[in-house]
Structure 1
Amino acid sequence: MANIIISPSRYVQGQGELKNLSGYVSKMGKSMLILISEGGNKRIGPMVEESFQGTGIAVTFDVFGGECCETEINRLREVVAKNKCDCVIGVGGGKILDTAKAVAYYEKTPVVICPTIASTDAPCSAISVIYTDDGVFERYLFLPQNPNLVVVDSSIIAAAPARLLVAGMGDALATYFEARATKASRSDTCAGGKVTSAAMALARLCYDTLMSEGVKAKIAMEAGVCTEAVEKIIEANTYLSGIGFESGGLAGAHAIHNGLTCIKECHHLYHGEKVAFGTLTQLVLENAPEDEIEEVVSFCIEVGLPVTFAQMGIKKVDKSKLMEAATLACGEGDTLRNMPLEVSPEKVCAAMIAADAIGRYFME
């Protein structure tokens, strides 16, 4: 099996770049579907629409239904067909972006990704995470190529709540540890091959950037400004984590996140907040060195990522529900199989309980 690394065809990041969107997509067609949330349409829809004025490119705005599920994907495929759209543009958060990628794949059009928050590493990937209509993880849709273009307007991302950037740090936090586990087990990555040295270097850079810039970026975001630290964390959350997880591999952290989707009390959490707890659980599962666990827990506490059940909304621990989550995490087709050790629902459940205890210990 070959070593493989994949990435979007072009990545653009900078303040005010969404105003230049039409120039970037002009060669992709003359009719665009723009998938956006209702709130996003009110905030930045006029800016996007203005970008296309006088270009001769027709734009169809459609409000996202709220879940990246088969029902929504099929609805939007009909919109693309009806309006004869040449390209799908996703503007918003992770589920909008994943839906745009899936629709473009099925309709055989280019896809342009414009994240308005840096809360996940979805923008650069050739993966869509498909959920049920009720928001429970269902499957990964592996796409034949990465997005044609990713446009990241850092001024828009910096105007979002700081919690969203922090959630992105939680998602990015898993990147290095999952890539390390995948490499150690010699498992295949989402790119369809073995881990490259380049992917490992990007994954490690992602982790190091979080440790050096994360707290500064959070403070700047809370103050309402876009500093160099914010720019670096946006890149870490979006590009470094995106390339790092996809070509480096997924392992325990994301599988445990998927398991947690079956616990109702966790539904209010962002993806990266659950992944952060999944990362801590993975480190416990593989019996990582104490100083490594301490660094991860301390970082999470400092930026505001959950390290205990209580912080995730689980006030009363029901072991049967934890076992249900652990069993889902160990399900066939999920990524716990990429861990370099034998896993079982019982071991995962025990690791989750221990991770919670460690989190409580360091918070005292």
Structure 2
Amino acid sequence: MKVTIGPAQYIRNKGLLEAAGTYIKNFGNSAALIGGNTSKEIVEVSLRKSLSEHGILLKHSLWYGGESSESNIDSLVADLRDEKIDVLIVAGGGKAIDTVKAVAYQLNKPLVAIPTIAATCAAATPITILYSDEGEFIGIERKSKVPDLVLVDSEIIMEAPVRFLIAGIGDTLAKYFETKSSVKKATPTALNQTAIAIAGQVYQTLLQIGKESVNAVRAQTVTKEFENVIDTVILVSGSVSGYGGDDCRTAGAHAIYSGLTIFPEVHHTYHGEIVAFGILAQLCMENTSDEELKTLISYYQEVGLPFTLQQLGITNLSDSQWRRLGDITVTIEDMANMPFEVTPEMVIEAVRRADEIGNGMLTTGVAAQ
């Protein structure tokens, strides 16, 4: 049995970036920063200053490539393989972090993650989600390492567009619904039952303070609720799969997310936003009642999550497109974690039903922006 719960150390505080060198110095005297262009602009000046104050040379500042794709991973590995660098630092969102987790694995280097948005639990998991260079889901790469240290500056997270936090809430909600389904195939153990308990707490936390955390970002005020949601999205949700392992994996919601990425029009939509719709479709496959779905959609309306295909940018699918969606979605490995066999027809029916119920709710509350 092998269990990887999460990062060795997680630190979250206001203004933390200015003290980053205090923690990173434990990994050596030279570093390379890799991340999204915007994220590097946000962190590099303060990071470089803090590293310098602790005798650490930031030798490189590199763009991760825009997608967590094999070609971008291979390119970064080639660029850095012969460099004398003690530690890799990644700044950005889930795709940047996933990319550098795979790079750090191949180079066998310590990894420090500095999330600049709270949109996924990528900083707390030992897997990389692979996409094509065009953004279409490819698969899950396990030659990836969990960060040795995660530094979260809550002021940086607050200054990001609120839509990122909303997407993070959507992605994190899936932990509860998918874990409940995937664990049905497993024999109960201390670890997977702990994962279920954590997933339940994650769900309750988001229901209780999700709206308040979104309002805090809109008011540009770091509040207790906001920081609790940051921790829930980035760290606590990652521990669900950490404790649960293969018994508590992503399931129907993420499979439907991956299937929907075949449509280029969704590539402007964030991961957690599409996953949120995937939750609704998964619940439809599980024959959840309309009333339960409407209750969840009401929460989506409160925080600003999408709940129709049109809100994801998808309109007027042809019969062949529907068939392709069903055929591809059932091949995604996440779908094998459902406690029953799923057919393409079940996927199509579930997505149609979720969209129909969602459209019926458009006039009953504030639609997602």
Q: TM class, shorter-chain normalised? A: over 0.9
Q: For 1:250-299, what per-residue CA distance to the aligned partner results, in whole angstroms no more than 9, with x for missing partners? A: 11111111111101111110000010001111111111244432332111
Which residue does 1:225 correspond to in 2? 221
Indicate if the aligned counterparts of 1:69 and 1:133 stay in contact, CA closer than 8 A: yes
In the comparison of the two structures, how many residue pairs are matched?
A: 358
Amino acid at match of 2:231: E
Normalised by the length of structure 1, the TM-score is 0.93
Question: 1:56: Cα distance to partner?
Answer: 2.3
Indicate if the aligned counterparts of 1:3 and 1:196 stay in contact, CA closer than 8 A: no
Give runs of aligned pairs for residues 1-364 of structure 1, distance below 5 A: 4=3, 6-59=5-58, 60-143=60-143, 145-186=145-186, 196-246=192-242, 247=244, 248-331=248-331, 334-364=333-363
Amino acid at match of 1:249: R
Question: 1:133: Cα distance to partner?
Answer: 1.1
Indicate if the aligned counterparts of 1:162 and 1:222 stay in contact, CA closer than 8 A: yes
Secondary structure, aligned partner of 2:165: helix
Question: 1:195: Cα distance to partner?
Answer: 5.3
Stretches of structure 1 lacking an aligned partner (at least 5 in a row):
none
Question: 1:64: Cα distance to partner?
Answer: 2.4
Structure 2 CA distance for aligned equivalents of residues 29 and 187 of structure 1: 43
Indicate if the aligned counterparts of 2:167 and 2:272 stay in contact, CA closer than 8 A: yes
Indicate if the aligned counterparts of 1:179 and 1:250 stay in contact, CA closer than 8 A: yes
Amino acid at match of 2:198: L
Indicate if the aligned counterparts of 1:210 and 1:233 stay in contact, CA closer than 8 A: yes
Q: For 1:106-152, what per-residue CA distance to the aligned partner results, in whole angstroms no more than 9, with x for missing partners? A: 11111111100001121101111111111111111114652211111
Shift of the 45–5 alpha-carbon distance from structure 1 to 2, 3 Å rule, reads closer
Q: For 1:152-201, what per-residue CA distance to the aligned partner results, in whole angstroms no more than 9, with x for missing partners? A: 1111001111101000001001001111111112289xxxx995222112
Structure 1 CA distance for aligned equivalents of residues 88 and 200 of structure 2: 32
Shift of the 5–186 alpha-carbon distance from structure 1 to 2, 3 Å rule, reads farther
RMSD: 1.9
Percent pairwise identity: 36
Structure 1 CA distance for aligned equivalents of residues 77 and 18 of structure 2: 27
Stretches of structure 2 lacking an aligned partner (at least 5 in a row):
364-369
Question: 1:66: Cα distance to partner?
Answer: 0.8
Question: 1:243: Cα distance to partner?
Answer: 1.6
Structure 1 CA distance for aligned equivalents of residues 191 and 291 of structure 2: 26
Where does structure 1 differ by over 6 angstroms across 4 or more consecutive aligned residues? none
Normalised by the length of structure 2, the TM-score is 0.92
Indicate if the aligned counterparts of 2:77 and 2:107 stay in contact, CA closer than 8 A: yes
Shift of the 292–232 alpha-carbon distance from structure 1 to 2, 3 Å rule, reads farther
Question: 1:61: Cα distance to partner?
Answer: 1.2
